[in-house]
Amino acid sequence: MAEREPNVAEEESTVAEPRTIDHYLHTDRFPHIWCPGCGLGTVTAAFLRAALELGLEKERTVVVGGIGCSSRAVGYLDFGTVHSIHGRALAFATGIKMAHPEFTVIVLTGDGDGAAIGGNHLIHACRRNLDITTILFNNNVYGMTGGQASPQTGMGGIATTAPFGFDEPSFDLCRLAEAAGATYVARGTSYGVRQLQRLIRDGITHPGFSFIEAVTQCPTEYGKRNPPKGPVQMLENLKEKAIPRKKAEGMTPEELEGRIVTGLLHRDESVPELTASYARMLERVRGSADE
Amino acid sequence: MELWYTHLMRESIDQDSLLVQGNRACALGALDAGVRFFAGYPITPSSEIMEVMARELPAVGGVFMQMEDEIASICACIGASLTGEVSMTATSGPGFSLMQEAIGYAIMAEAPSVIVNVMRQGPSTGRPTTPSQGDVMQARWGTHGDHPAIVLAASNVADMYRLTIAAVRFAQRFRMPVILLADEIVGHMRESFSPEIAGRYRLTSGDFDFTETYTHPEMVREVHAPHELGTLIHPHVTGLIHDETGFPTNDPKKSEQFLRELHDKVVHHRDELCLYDVKNVGKGRVAVVAYGSCARSARAALKLAEQEGIPVEVLHLYTLFPLPVEIIQELARRVEFILIPELNLGQYAREVRRLAENWTTVVSMGRVDGNLITPRDIVDRLAELVGKYESS
């Protein structure tokens, strides 16, 4: 009966319940812009569950996006959020983190935003080893603008700007990030959501630049032109192709062809984090000025 | 007020006769104005500004970043600004071109920042060590879409100091990027300077106190988005058209209102923003309107012309945009012609012409050979024009 549950009791029970990811969402901004079957929401939810696990404070967390489907996630998140310009999210985030090292700074970007137009900022952010966590949503295509080829489309992939098949090889984004100096590099998929959540969580706590590639599916713009068609088939494909790093270590390059190596791929805690070394420099300079 | 020039100059022998470079004066002005975040990329002829900032910001606990390019520089400045830091960058033509998209973002997101452009000859790589005023219209219209702009122009070393202070204050008060234009002559010349000298200037336009340096002046009421990141209100900042909540909107009425209010913010405060100086008011039948290094020549030409029997009025503009509409139209009503010397092919002359042509003739005096316009050049041109208009 309705009388059994007055408003007060309802409120109390709400407070007592464990928080859900709604805690970090502007649910009033829904429905979101993503298509049915899209993996971006899955990756965003993995990030939010990692945030819940860590208990990230909204006031001290800033999430920066660029432009594109994935970057639109920031518009639904209840942190300090910056929807910046195409490719430049990491440059904005660099300013924010350097000005306020106490903030937890997360960058959400896509394969076009992060690896094409923002590629230069990506490698320099890796090199600086500033304590920013970057989650790159890789769905192999420019979704928002209607299915054009991205650097991650892959040889032979069909896109509106590659109607006869794309002729260019892709980056191995994780190897790129590692070579550029990122001190935490990991890869997950929107199929392996628990693994992805764990990798993001560890990336956020890692004191240095963390790069997490989240391989995901765009059934609308990629799937409709490239096999396997359909969101379920694409997710199954991610499941089949994903292979944990440890298992992959014993395999030949031929055996690994077309596979997605997942898990923590690189971690180095010996490199100084930039805000910390900058603070030490300030101390040194100001100390000698006082003498 | 603690003046950083004293800290920087303490090793000098005689503080009354300090020779300071224009770019250096700009950096000192920035430090005195409270700039605590600088991100930049090396480019001639502006690099000295970032070199001084690299050296001095750590001493005041500020952040200096050398970024991977000018796009990253302005974006880092905007990022810092969104957290409440007072930020600035400095560049020259090619770098200024790269910054344009982000300048539009800062206008849209109402993020204050100062962009100094020490102009060199273009287009493209042009002549990197050669002065120019070729970026005037880029400073006004460089980023896409309808947008307001605040653009100042420095004519000497003292200007580099005090207009940097003005730029910081305008940026904070109006919550938008402010562009300070200098040129290679102003950036690289050395003059006797101290902040006291700079503060002593009085402008015709009124009581802008350049010695008053405070970093968080009262914001104008038209500002939409004063919330900083890292506060209890978790703001959403976007370059999309947005409403008062900060979130995007596609509502046609709200979109128009937002864009109009962005403009109103500047237009409604034109009197406050337009800094200028008039010499010989009402005494000349002809006038020179000038800015930057050409204004210096124009002021010197005033005396020379008088000696040669040509009484001339000189309007020296420190603010190029918003346009000083009333000032130019009043001037147009009282003179037979207006001469505009500038180191480009008549960019600002076109602006003045459309304001003044109902009342007077506007003559462009452009120079693009890489040399400056001397006082003698201006007087000779005035003499020619006086002859022409008197004979006609």
Residue among A14, A274, A270, A227 nearest A128 (CA): A274
Q: How far is B35 from chain A (nearest CA, A)?
A: 12
| Domain coverage including residue B380 | 279-391
CB proximity B88 to A under 8 Å: no
The letter for the amino acid at A172 is D
Identify the CATH number of the domain in which residue B69 sits: 3.40.50.970
Cβ separation of B237 and A96 shorter than 8 Å?
Answer: no
Return all residues near A27 (Cβ < 8 A) that are at least 6 apart.
none
Q: Which residues of chain B have pLDDT under 50?
A: 1-2, 5-7, 9-14
The pLDDT, as a whole number, for residue B226 is 67
Q: How many residues does chain A have?
A: 291
- Nearest-CB residue to A85 (from B73, B105, B236): B105
Residue of B nearest to A104 (CA): B230
Distance from C-alpha of B178 to C-alpha of B168, rounded to nearest angstrom = 8
Tell whether B242 is covered by a domain. Answer: no
HSE-up (13 A, CA, CB side) for residue B114: 36
For tokens 């300048």, the residue is B103
CB proximity B325 to A under 8 Å: no
The pLDDT, as a whole number, for residue B205 is 78
Contact list in B for residue A64 (CB cut-off 8 A) is 79
Cβ separation of A74 and B236 shorter than 8 Å?
Answer: yes
The pLDDT, as a whole number, for residue B11 is 43
> In DSSP terms, which residues pair with A106 in a beta bridge?
A63, A133
CB proximity A108 to B under 8 Å: no
Identify the CATH number of the domain in which residue B287 sits: 3.40.50.920
DSSP annotation of A220: I
Q: How far is A52 from chain B (nearest CA, A)?
A: 17
Scan residues 96-115 of B and list those with Cβ closer than 8 Å to A.
101-102, 105
- Nearest-CB residue to A121 (from B61, B68, B231): B68
pTM: 0.94
Q: Are residues B288 and B175 in the same domain?
A: no
**Digit-coded pLDDT (tens) for B252-283:** 999 999 999 999 999 999 999 999 999 999 89
Distance from C-alpha of A60 to C-alpha of B330, rounded to nearest angstrom = 53
User: At the topology level of CATH, where does A22-290 sit?
Assistant: Rossmann fold (3.40.50)
Tell whether B267 is covered by a domain. Answer: no
Q: How far is A14 from chain B (nearest CA, A)?
A: 22
Residue of A nearest to B78 (CA): A92
Peptide bond preceding B45: is omega within 30 degrees of 0, i.e. cis?
yes
| pLDDT (tens place) for every residue of chain A, 291 residues total | 334 343 333 444 445 567 899 999 999 999 999 999 999 999 999 999 999 999 999 999 999 999 999 999 999 999 999 999 999 999 999 999 999 999 999 999 999 999 999 999 999 999 999 999 999 999 999 999 999 999 999 999 999 999 999 999 999 999 999 999 999 999 999 999 999 999 999 999 999 999 999 999 999 999 999 999 899 999 999 999 999 999 999 999 999 999 999 999 999 999 999 999 999 999 999 887 655
**Digit-coded pLDDT (tens) for B46-82:** 999 999 999 999 999 999 999 999 999 999 999 999 9
Cβ separation of A99 and B63 shorter than 8 Å?
Answer: yes
**Residue-range domain boundaries for chain A:** 22-290
Can you spell out the DSSP letters for B319-377?
Answer: EEES--HHHHHHHHHH-SEEEEEESSSSHHHHHHHHHHTTTSEEEEEE--SSPPPPHHH
Q: How far is B9 from chain A (nearest CA, A)?
A: 14
* ipTM confidence score: 0.94
Distance from C-alpha of A100 to C-alpha of B227, rounded to nearest angstrom = 16
| Boundary residue ending a domain (B170, B200, B230) | B200
Tell whether B78 is covered by a domain. Answer: yes
Tell whether B54 is covered by a domain. Answer: yes
The pLDDT, as a whole number, for residue A6 is 39
Tell whether B214 is covered by a domain. Answer: no
- Helix axis angle for A89-99 and B70-82, nearest 10°, is 50
Residue of B nearest to A119 (CA): B68
The pLDDT, as a whole number, for residue B17 is 57
Tell whether B150 is covered by a domain. Answer: yes
Q: How far is A65 from chain B (nearest CA, A)?
A: 10
> How many separate domains does chain B show?
2
A268-274, long-range: CB < 8 A, 24+ apart: A268/A183, A268/A184, A268/A208, A269/A183, A269/A206, A269/A207, A269/A208, A271/A129, A271/A181, A271/A183, A271/A208, A272/A129, A273/A129, A273/A130, A273/A131, A273/A207, A273/A208, A274/A98, A274/A128, A274/A129, A274/A130, A274/A131
